[in-house]
Structure 1
Amino acid sequence: MAGGLVALLDDVAVLARAAAASIDDIGAAAGRASIKAAGVVVDDTAVTPQYVHGLNADRELPIIRKIALGSLRNKLLIILPAILLLSQFLPWLLTPILMLGGAYLCYEGVEKIWHKVSGHAEAHASVEEAMPDEKTIVSGAVRTDFILSAEIMVISLNEVASEAFVSRAIILIVVALGITVLVYGVVGLIVKMDDVGLSLSQKSAKGLAAFGRALVKGMPKLLTALTVVGTAAMLWVGGHIILLGTDELGFSPIYDLVHHLEEAAHDATGALGGVVGWIVNTVGSAILGLAVGAVVVTVMNLTVHRNKDGAPSH
């Protein structure tokens, strides 16, 4: 009896270790997948605060909560089942779909730059300031989130495509939950930072008051920095996706060029070779992203956007 109990406890211990290892593997895979989607995550974090700009302070967090729930529904109820079925039955479509998503990221990045340098950003901002009702704000934000969430999930799926179906599903659920909590938690902190700063600035303690004023003054700079980092990350991630995709589809000259430059930089810089090589690869990917984005923006301006402005298309 005692021997059977010991054997049972041994079996339980083995199962527990296997379960722990499996959880560790899932966590590590989810972490790798999330890192690959970093460019879209940063952009998502930079975009969302704009939806509550100008609203009453007491409505900011409730609206962000509604957008976050909409984002979870997008990821878990629509995008996740679709990409899991796709990866199971039509895996060869993943690379072209991922490249289309990468091209969209490049387009978004270049369009942001174009709006900034052409002065269109100010006109766009003035339209945004005419705030619609909360339901319209939430539905618009959730529609935008759908595109970004789809890209996050497809990028993440590509990182775990070799996993078994159930593991793949669990990892993507972890990614969906983790990234949504991260993005909208940070967004909540960002939009309340000025309120916290304003409250602290009214304290009698000079140190707290000074810190509060710094928070209030720093908010616009933080949002600007997020936008710049998000735009750069979109070009880098989008370009890198296209770079790898073209090589996987059999067109290797661009990939070979970047890879050759990366190896040359790695070999020429000794102990810093890994970092310098990564920087070269990142810059090469961003340049490719900039070129692809410029082509897409040009095509869109000559077709879709031109039609919206009432001009005839050719």
Structure 2
Amino acid sequence: MPGGLVALLDDVSIIARAAAASVDDIAAAAGRAGSKTAGVVIDDAAVTPSYVTGLSPARELPIIWSITKGSFKNKLLILLPGAILLSEFLPGAIIFFLMLGGLYLSYEGAEKVLEKLGGEKHGKTVDDVIEDPASFEKERIAGAIRTDLILSAEIMAITLNEIDLDVWWERGIALAIVAIAVTVVVYGAVALIVKMDDVGLHLAEKPSQFAQKFGRGMVEFVPYLLTALSFIGTIAMLWVGGGILLHGTHELGLHGLYDAAHGLEYAVKSTTGALGGVLGWLSYAAASALLALVVGAIIAFVLHKVIKMGHGPGDAEAH
């Protein structure tokens, strides 16, 4: 009997060690994958504040909470099961989903650059008179959740591509960890950003001169922060989108662009001394962003000029 108990305890300890190793593997995989999604996360955080711009300050946090709940549903109820099924039964298709995401990010980033350079603007604005605030708010939330679905799909695809776990439930846990962490970080940051001006106004009404000065500084800082986030988000989209395209073409057997970008990276790295590592990486990131800008500009031209030419006068007015 003692021998049986010892054997049982040995089995339990082996299972526990295996479980602990699995947890470590899952955590490590989630960490690696999370770092790869940084560009998309930055863009998500940069885009979302625009959905509450122009609306009542009292509705900002409820709107962000509604978008956050929609993001959790997108990632955990729609994309997570799909990603697990895809990795289990059709893993070869993951690269094509990544490439589609890379094309989308390239298009979005290039369109923002073209708009900044004076091109035609696309998408909704809050400049028009809002006749039905409740309906308008629902439309803004729905639009934000649709945008989140696209960005979340790219986050999940990048994560799935980076996870090196053989068991489906381990992949599922790693995906869920990244999904939850990204959602909390993005929408927590967004909530802080959109309420910074309110906090600043509150401090500006305090009797302390320091508090007043600091509060006014916060209010003045918010527009610059949003502008910086928009710029960083655009650069991040182009960098990540181009990097996905370079990696994807390489995986599909087209090595020219990938080899050229890495050749540039190694050339810069080997000729710039102590800063070689940083400058080499920056050169590769710049090459990735340039590729995305060119590809995205072509897609934008086709969507907004060529395809639009096929509509009749009535359709053109409707759009």
TM over 0.5: yes
Q: RMSD of aligned C-alpha atoms?
A: 2.5
**How many Å separate the matches in 2 of 1:156 and 1:129?**
41
Indicate the larger mover: 187-196 or 22-31: 22-31
Runs of 5+ in structure 1 lacking a partner?
A: none
The corresponding residue for 2:224 is: 221
Q: CA deviation at 1:17?
A: 4.6
Q: CA deviation at 1:20?
A: 3.6
2:29, 2:164 within 8 Å by CA — same for their partners in 1? no
Task: Name the SS for the 1:251 alignment partner.
Answer: coil
2:26, 2:170 within 8 Å by CA — same for their partners in 1? yes
The corresponding residue for 2:188 is: 185
Q: CA deviation at 1:55?
A: 2.0
Task: Name the SS for the 2:117 alignment partner.
Answer: helix
1:54, 1:129 within 8 Å by CA — same for their partners in 2? no
**How many Å separate the matches in 2 of 1:205 and 1:69?**
39
1:110, 1:290 within 8 Å by CA — same for their partners in 2? yes
Deviations 1:170-211 (Å, cap 9, x if unpaired)? 100111111001111001101111110100111111111111
For the pair 1:136 / 2:132, whether they are aligned, the reply is no
**Paired residues for 1:176-255 under 5 Å:** 176-255=179-258
Taking structure 2 as the reference length, the TM-score comes to 0.89
Deviations 1:236-295 (Å, cap 9, x if unpaired)? 000000001111101111111111111122222233322222111111111111111111
Count of residue pairs the alignment pairs up: 312
AA paired with 1:29?
A
Taking structure 1 as the reference length, the TM-score comes to 0.90
Specify whether residues 123 and 101 from structure 1 end up closer, same or farther in structure 2 by C-alpha distance, changes over 3 A only: closer
AA paired with 1:296?
I
Deviations 1:96-128 (Å, cap 9, x if unpaired)? 221111011000001111122226449954557
Runs of 5+ in structure 2 lacking a partner?
A: none
AA paired with 1:69?
K
Identity percentage of aligned residues: 54
Specify whether residues 3 and 162 from structure 1 end up closer, same or farther in structure 2 by C-alpha distance, changes over 3 A only: closer
The corresponding residue for 1:58 is: 58
The corresponding residue for 1:39 is: 39
Deviations 1:157-179 (Å, cap 9, x if unpaired)? 11115542111111001111110
The corresponding residue for 2:118 is: 118
The corresponding residue for 1:280 is: 283
**How many Å separate the matches in 2 of 1:3 and 1:210?**
75
**How many Å separate the matches in 2 of 1:244 and 1:308?**
40
**Paired residues for 1:59-98 under 5 Å:** 59-98=59-98
**How many Å separate the matches in 2 of 1:173 and 1:245?**
24
**How many Å separate the matches in 2 of 1:300 and 1:230?**
22
AA paired with 1:104?
Y
**How many Å separate the matches in 2 of 1:87 and 1:122?**
35
For the pair 1:165 / 2:205, whether they are aligned, the reply is no
Specify whether residues 161 and 295 from structure 1 end up closer, same or farther in structure 2 by C-alpha distance, changes over 3 A only: farther
1:115, 1:121 within 8 Å by CA — same for their partners in 2? yes
